[in-house]
């Protein structure tokens, strides 16, 4: 028998997007590293670009109307740094700031609270030419950028996220070469990661200095909960290594002001240069942690693998990203964050799935797998809440199908389908399911 499981009163419900993935409006901003990466042959599926994307820059009112239809009370979006500061620093593009100001007004007019991310990967190309995140100077440019944005939006925006997924910025962008800027150098990746953490601290200060007492600042990390392939000691140790590489490398600096010693030792001479005061800056108290969860990792000892392990692909259900559907991983993660990191207020700032959606003959998009994914992960959230986790909100990734980085437009994460030829939006069944969850503040399981 189906059971209706209730979320706590005041739970925050939203969808999430990111500037480069949806905005388009390419001629109304400066260049960013993803524009450059898209031009690098073979790096992005089918040579796709962010030039038009969902054309949200010109259609934001319609998109906010869609959010209102879903009944969400919050929306997480990111600001394009090169739209605000085309050269990364110096002259401000007032038109760009106006765009975000109008977006915020439109949201508030419909009772939707903005959660604003400052950095979701679109670094101005002008700063990359000066060394990008590997250059220490970039952390001060980020602080200035945070101040410019806060001066303009801080009267209305109360919830800020400094960085989205610094692990991805550091490692996918600078070690694995799969994201912009596309380098493959561990030392560089670790220095980039360190600078994102320090710049997070500087941005926390800039935002707090400009906001009122009700300003809340957090950071969003992505997680890859690690499960040993067996209970053999070497697999357990391998899983611990993966946890260090994927999770603790950013969690420990942000919450404890230090890098995890096991990984520090494993990285050897490639560890980042840490200036006096950096760790204190990076670990200033924050108001919440944003949690992005999609899947887990099953880890097996393998002396030939990097860091001495490899990840396995267990039997199970997989999304179009080839990511295992594993809701229990979300419960385990939330419980572990609460236990090990001082129980900060948590928000799921991203959770979702890609499937090969099509518009059916009836004009609808039937996506039962995404409905099931959502339902199971919301139940996983409730399991965590019942174990005492201070989970305050859930943002579905994503409002609309969009530019999925190296996969271009070939992967659809939206709860609304987008026809990229006509820009027509069609709410998928999962969007209607999500709207019903929001309306009841409860999920039927």
Using CB under 6 A, list all residues that contact ligand IFM.
Answer: 18, 21, 165, 292, 350, 397, 404, 413
Minimum CB–partner distance for residue 420 and ligand IFM (Å): 16
Q: Which residue has the tokens 């420990």?
A: 252
| 15 contacts 347 by C-beta, under 8 angstroms | no
Q: Tell me whether residue 235 or residue 324 sits nearer to ligand IFM (CB atom).
A: 324
| 188 contacts 273 by C-beta, under 8 angstroms | no
324 among known catalytic residues = no
290 beta partners? 220, 347
Minimum CB–partner distance for residue 406 and ligand IFM (Å): 10
Minimum CB–partner distance for residue 403 and ligand IFM (Å): 8
Minimum CB–partner distance for residue 367 and ligand IFM (Å): 16
How far apart are the C-alpha atoms of 15 and 9, rounded to whole Å?
A: 19
Residue 393 CB contacts under 8 Å (≥ 6 apart), including other chains: 11, 12, 13, 14, 74, 347, 348
How far apart are the C-alpha atoms of 297 and 285, rounded to whole Å?
A: 29
Which candidate, 37, 62, 50, places its Cα nearest to that of 402? 50
Q: Tell me whether residue 205 or residue 376 sits nearer to ligand IFM (CB atom).
A: 376
Q: Tell me whether residue 21 or residue 283 sits nearer to ligand IFM (CB atom).
A: 21
Q: Tell me whether residue 160 or residue 397 sits nearer to ligand IFM (CB atom).
A: 397
Buried b (16+ CB within 10 A) or exposed e, 186-204: bbbbbbbbbbbbbbbbbbb
For β-strands 416-419 and 424-427, DSSP reports them as antiparallel
Q: Tell me whether residue 143 or residue 319 sits nearer to ligand IFM (CB atom).
A: 319
* Contacts made by residues 354-357, CB under 8 angstroms, sequence distance 24+: 354/319, 354/320, 354/321, 354/404, 354/411, 354/412, 354/413, 355/319, 355/320, 355/412, 356/320, 356/412, 357/401, 357/412, 357/417, 357/428
- Among the options 106, 324, 350, 404, which is catalytic? 350
Q: Tell me whether residue 206 or residue 354 sits nearer to ligand IFM (CB atom).
A: 354
Half-sphere CA count of 342, side-chain side, radius 13 A: 12
H helix count then E strand count, the chain? 17, 15
How far apart are the C-alpha atoms of 415 and 327, rounded to whole Å?
A: 18
Helix (H) or strand (E) holding 118: strand 113-119
| 21 contacts 114 by C-beta, under 8 angstroms | no
- Among the options 23, 165, 324, 404, which is catalytic? 165
Token couple for 103:
């977006």
Q: Tell me whether residue 84 or residue 396 sits nearer to ligand IFM (CB atom).
A: 396
State the residue number with the nearest CB to ligand IFM: 18
Minimum CB–partner distance for residue 16 and ligand IFM (Å): 8
Q: So which residues are the catalytic ones? A: 165, 350
């Amino acid at each position: 028998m189906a059971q209706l499981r209730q979320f706590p009163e005041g739970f925050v419900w939203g969808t999430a997007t990111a500037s480069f993935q949806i905005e388009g409006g390419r001629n109304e901003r400066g260049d960013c590293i993803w524009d450059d990466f898209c031009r690098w042959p073979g790096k992005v599926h089918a040579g796709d670009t962010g030039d038009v994307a969902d054309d949200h820059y010109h259609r934001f009112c319609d998109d906010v109307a869609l959010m209102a239809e879903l009944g969400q009370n919050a929306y997480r979006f990111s600001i394009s740094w090169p739209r605000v500061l085309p050269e990364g620093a110096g002259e401000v593009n007032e038109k760009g700031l106006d765009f975000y100001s109008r977006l915020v007004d439109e949201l508030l007019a419909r009772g939707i609270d903005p959660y604003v991310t400052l950095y979701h990967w679109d670094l101005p190309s002008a700063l990359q030419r000066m060394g990008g995140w590997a250059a220490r100077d970039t952390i001060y440019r980020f602080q200035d950028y945070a101040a410019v944005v806060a001066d303009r939006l801080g009267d209305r925006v109360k919830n800020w996220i400094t960085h989205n997924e610094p692990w991805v910025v550091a490692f996918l962008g600078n070690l694995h070469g799969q994201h912009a800027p596309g380098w493959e150098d561990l030392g560089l990746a670790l220095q980039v990661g360190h600078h994102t953490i320090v710049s997070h601290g500087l941005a926390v200060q800039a935002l707090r200095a400009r906001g009122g007492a009700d300003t809340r600042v957090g950071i969003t990390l992505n997680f890859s909960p690690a499960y040993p392939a067996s209970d053999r000691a070497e697999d357990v140790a391998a899983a611990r290594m993966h946890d260090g590489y994927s999770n603790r490398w950013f969690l420990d600096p942000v919450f404890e002001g230090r890098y995890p010693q096991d990984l520090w030792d494993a990285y050897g001479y490639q560890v980042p240069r840490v200036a006096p005061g950096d760790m204190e800056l990076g670990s200033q108290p924050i108001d919440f942690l944003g949690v992005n969860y999609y899947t887990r990792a099953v880890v097996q000892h393998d002396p030939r693998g990097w860091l001495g392990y490899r990840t396995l692909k267990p039997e199970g259900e997989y999304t179009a990203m080839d990511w295992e559907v594993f809701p229990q991983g979300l419960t385990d993660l939330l419980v572990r964050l609460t236990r090990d990191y001082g129980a900060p207020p948590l928000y799921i700032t991203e959770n979702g799935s890609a499937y090969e959606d099509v518009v059916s003959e009836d004009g609808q998009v039937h996506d039962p797998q995404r409905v099931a994914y959502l339902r199971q992960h919301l139940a996983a959230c409730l399991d965590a809440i019942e174990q005492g986790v201070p989970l305050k909100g859930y943002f579905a990734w994503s409002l609309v199908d969009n530019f999925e980085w190296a996969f271009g437009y070939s992967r659809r994460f939206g709860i609304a389908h987008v026809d990229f030829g006509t820009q027509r939006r069609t709410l998928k069944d999962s969007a209607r399911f999500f709207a019903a969850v929001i309306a009841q503040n409860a999920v039927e399981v």
